[in-house]
Amino acid sequence: MSKPKIVILGAGYGGMMTTVRLTKELSAEDAEITLVNKHNYHYQTTWLHEAAAGTIHHDRTRMLIKNVINTKRVNFVQDSVQSIDRENHKVALKNGEIDYDYLVIALGFESNTFGIKGLDTNAFAIRSVNTARKIREHIEYKFASYNSDPDAKDSDLTIVVGGAGLSGVEFLGELVDRIPELCKEYDIDPNKVRIVDVEGMPFVLPPFDRELANYAQKYLEGKGVEFKLNTFIKEATPEGVKVQKKDSEELEEIQAGTVVWTGGVKANHIPADSGFETNRGKIQVTADLRSPEDDHVFAVGDVAVIFPPNAERPYPPTAQIAIQAAENIAKNMKHILKGEATESFVYKPKGTVASLGEKEAIGVVFDHKMTGKPAAAMKKVIDDRYLLMLGGVPLVLKKGKLNLL
- Using CB distances below 5 to 8 A depending on partner kind, what does residue 271 bind out of ligand FAD, ligand NAD, none? none
* Residue 37 binds to ligand FAD (criterion: CB under 6 A): yes
Side-chain half-sphere exposure of 290, counting CA atoms within 13 A? 17
Residue 7 or 166 with smaller CB distance to ligand NAD: 166
Cβ 268 to ligand FAD, closest distance in Å?
5
Angle, in degrees to the nearest 10, between helices 166-185 and 210-222: 10
Q: How far apart, in whole angstroms, are the C-alpha atoms of residue 351 and residue 385?
A: 14
Does residue 107 belong to the site contacting ligand FAD (CB under 6 A)?
yes
Active-site residue 250, yes or no?
no
The residue among 54 and 168 lying less far from ligand NAD, judged by its C-beta, is 168
CB 40 → ligand FAD: shortest distance, Å?
A: 11
Write the CB contacts of 217 (distance below 8 Å, at least 6 apart in sequence): 203, 204, 227
Considering CB distances under 5 to 8 angstroms, the limit depending on partner class, which of ligand NAD, ligand FAD, none binds residue 108? ligand FAD
* Selected binder of ligand FAD within 19, 23, 34, 46 (CB under 6 A): 46
With CB under 6 A as the contact rule, the residue among 45, 55, 61, 332 that binds ligand FAD is: 45
Instruction: Enumerate residues 123-152 that contact ligand FAD by CB under 6 A.
Output: 126
Residue 14 interacts with ligand FAD (CB under 6 A)?
A: yes
Distances (CA, A) of 215 to 180, 195, 305, 346: 22, 18, 31, 32
Nearer to ligand NAD, 55 or 262 (CB): 262
Q: Which of 64, 193, 45 is nearest to 131 (CA)?
A: 45
The reply to whether 320 sits near ligand FAD by the rule CB under 6 A is yes
Give me the least distance between CB of 58 and ligand FAD, in Å please. Answer: 13
- Piece of the chain touching ligand FAD by CB under 6 A; list 45-53, 68-76, 224-232, 279-287: 45-53
Instruction: Given the residues 32, 87, 110, 170, select the one marked as catalytic.
Output: 170
Please give the Cα distance from 64 to 41 (Å, whole number). 4
Q: Which does 164 bind (CB under 5 to 8 A by kind): ligand NAD, ligand FAD, none?
A: ligand NAD
CB of 131 to ligand NAD, least distance (A): 13
Single out the residue of 54, 108, 173, 281 in contact with ligand FAD (rule: CB under 6 A). 108
Which among ligand NAD, ligand FAD, none contacts residue 81 (Cβ within 5 to 8 A by kind)? ligand FAD
Select from ligand FAD, ligand NAD, none the partner in contact with residue 80, using the beta carbon and a kind-dependent cut-off of 5 to 8 Å: ligand FAD
CB hemisphere CA count around 397 (13 angstroms): 4
Q: Decide: 29 and 113 in contact? Cβ < 8 Å.
A: no
Distance CA 346, CA 320 (A): 13
> Applying CB under 6 A, which residues contact ligand NAD?
116, 162-168, 170, 198-201, 206, 232-233, 262-265, 316-318, 352-354
Specify burial of residue 371 (Cβ count, 10 A radius: 0-12, 13-18, 19+). middle
C-beta of 320: minimal distance to ligand FAD in Å?
A: 4
Among 6, 7, 8, 11, binds ligand FAD (CB under 6 A): 11
Catalytically active residues, by annotation: 170
Q: Which residues bind ligand FAD (CB under 6 A)?
A: 10-15, 36-39, 45-46, 48-49, 80-81, 106-109, 126, 167, 170, 268, 270, 301-302, 317-320, 322
